[in-house]
Chain A
Amino acid sequence: MGATVTSTLRFDRVSFSYGAVQALSDVSFALDSGERVALLGRNGAGKSTLLRLVTGLARPRVGTVWVGDWDTRDATPDRLARRVGSVFQHADQQLFARTLEDDVAFGPRAIGLAPAEVASRVARALAALELGEHVREHPYDLPPALRKLAALAGALALEPALLVLDEPTAGLDRALRERVNRALLERSAAGAAVLVITHDLTFAAESLDRALVLDRGRLARDSSLPGLLGEGAGGGGGGALEALGLLPPPVASLSAALALPGRPIRAADAARALARVAGGESRHLD
């Protein structure tokens, strides 16, 4: 990260309060193109406030939030939408068009894209989340979990440099969580930075690489996700993880309990490691 490279998102000593309640204190970090980052911490740690600062719904009292080379203080939320696609918690209630397709097209149209470009982005977003069969349906005829995917499709269709998502997997079953995972991997491969608030550490381990942990408004940790989750599962560091409101997800605990080589935190990696160890033993027995 040389001085000439502009980060996709940068917090520079940011503080924010609601009246007398200090929500964020002196937070600094930067996200680069293609990074997939989890924003973790217990209920009330300041995660949603941080997202509001990114989308321009709140302005920092102290410090600066940079989205690319824009200071969010100088950019309105609708201008920021050219660079930031966001999905808030309970986004399933934010749909309003008559068909799913129209709802997803709203954002791209609002930022002034040509109709052909709108159509191709909407098609890509719907395909990424496998929502194609529902395009003509009224959003409120869909179950809440699919409405949530529809809101995510709306953010994907902006094809923004930065995607910020608040609890995108809450209320989704495993098959739908996997669709979200694939869509995020696809966007980050295309260069988007992804910032996800989540309590779902299994999802975080599968989809994201880096962790920012907030604790009472302060940035308590900025590290790799395997590093953070692995230290909690391996004994020793578990107390530190728990003090931040976090628990090691089952794969990390399993890897530690069975002493799997490399201590994988993703299910597929753990399965491979387990197969290798078990297979090695049975060959040995033969």
Chain B
Amino acid sequence: MTRLALERVTFRYPATEAPALLDVSLEVTGGEVVALVGSIGAGASTLLLVAADLAPRVVGGRLEGRVAFDGEGVRGIVLPTPWTQLSGMAFTVWDEVAFGPANLGLARDEITRRVDRAIARLGIEGLVSREPTTLSGGELQRVIIAGILAMQPGLLLLDEPTAELDPIGARSLWELVRALAREGTAILVATSDLDALPAVADRVAWLDRGRLQAIGSADLLGSEALVAASLGPTVANVWHGARLPSPYPVSVAQALQRWEQR
């Protein structure tokens, strides 16, 4: 069941001629994780803003083509700058996480249930009484994600969700992303954490200067083209550096399998 469909989408920011997205078509289904990969300026963040209905509606600009959202649940976006996403209306983390569901007009019991569950899923029970502005970068990133999850989005849009997290925190977040997909959430994520993707992404979409160059399974990351574009996971780069034949393994597990079968 398609949750989000972009059909031949071209988008230009205000006062620019060069399109940030050019003729992009992409579908995301409930239960799947689609990862956007690309260099700086490739258009991944822009694509998420378009999918969230923030571009052009909030940021301005011109959109051609069609963006369809099936409307089941809300759309939630986690920006790469979590400190810009605080409500400014909450003096505790608990209230911050409750801000979204409260604005959906839910009953008090339902808000409490959702907020407590989101807080538990992000492992931030120890922060509930803290003032949001006193949190560290990693703590804040978890709080913002909890606030979005508390709205139970049918489509979850994540822009560099692990940028502020320590390695164990990042691993937990990727596990949470898989768990949300299993529960039926459609997830579109832009990330430079290429090493995490083989275990997380059902599909990988490669953006280059606004164009969708290729889309496929996570094994796409081990293709000659992606490695040449500096978008290969570390293991693929090592394989490439050793001049072993492509397609390259994308994870340690895959590398070990190849090595044992040689």
A interface list, Cβ under 8 A from B: 41-44, 48, 89-90, 143-146, 167, 170-176, 199, 201-202, 242, 245-247, 249-251, 253-254, 257-258, 267-268, 270-272, 274-275, 278, 281
Contact = CB atoms under 8 A, between A and B. Distances in A.
A281 B255 CA distance: 17
B136 A48 contact: yes
Nearest to B259: A258
B104 interface: no
B139 interface: yes
Given A146-B40, A272-B242, A267 B237 contact: yes
B235 A44 contact: no
Contacts of B81: 90
Contacts of A267: 234, 237-238, 241
A90 B137 CA distance: 10
A245 B39 CA distance: 28
7 contacts: A167-B137, A172-B192, A173-B192, A257-B256, A271-B241, A271-B242, A272-B241
Contacts of A245: 166-169
B241 A174 contact: no
Interface in B95-115: none
Interface stretch (B23-31, B59-67, B148-156, B157-165): B157-165
Given A201-B167, A249-B234, A43 B40 contact: no
B210 interface: no
Given A257-B256, A258-B255, A199 B40 contact: no
Contacts of A175: 39-40, 230
A19 B81 CA distance: 28
Contact of A270 (B139, B230, B238): B238
Interface in B155-186: 160, 163-171
A281 B242 CA distance: 14
A89 B135 CA distance: 14
Q: Chain A at the B interface: mostly helix, strand, loop or mixed?
A: helix
Contacts of B165: 43, 199
Contacts of B234: 202, 249-251, 254, 267
A257 B256 CA distance: 7
Interface in B79-128: 80-81, 83
A43 B242 contact: no
B238 to A, nearest CB: 5
Contact of B40 (A41, A44, A173, A274): A173
B138 interface: yes
A250 to B, nearest CB: 4
Contacts of B243: 275
B238 A44 contact: no
B195 interface: yes
Contacts of B170: 199
A242 B166 CA distance: 11
Nearest to A246: B167
Contacts of A247: 167-168, 171
Contacts of A257: 252, 255-256, 259
Given A90-B83, A174-B230, A257-B255, A250 B160 contact: no
Interface string B36-72: 0001110000000000000000000000000000000
Contacts of B238: 251, 254, 267, 270-271, 274
A267 B240 CA distance: 10
Given A170-B163, A246-B168, A258-B255, A143 B41 contact: yes
B199 to A, nearest CB: 12
B233 interface: yes
Contact of B242 (A171, A202, A278): A278
Interface in B199-255: 230-231, 233-235, 237-244, 252, 255
B230 A173 contact: yes
A44 B136 contact: yes
Contact of A171 (B163, B167, B169): B163
B160 A171 contact: yes
A143 B167 contact: no
Q: Which 8 A-B pairs have the closest CB atoms?
A: A271-B241, A43-B138, A274-B242, A250-B234, A275-B242, A247-B167, A174-B230, A42-B166
Given A89-B137, A245-B168, A257-B259, 11 more contacts: A43-B165, A143-B40, A174-B231, A175-B230, A199-B165, A254-B252, A257-B256, A267-B238, A271-B237, A271-B240, A274-B242
Nearest to B42: A173
Contacts of B139: 43-44
Contacts of A249: 234
Given A251-B234, A272-B242, A278-B242, A171 B138 contact: no
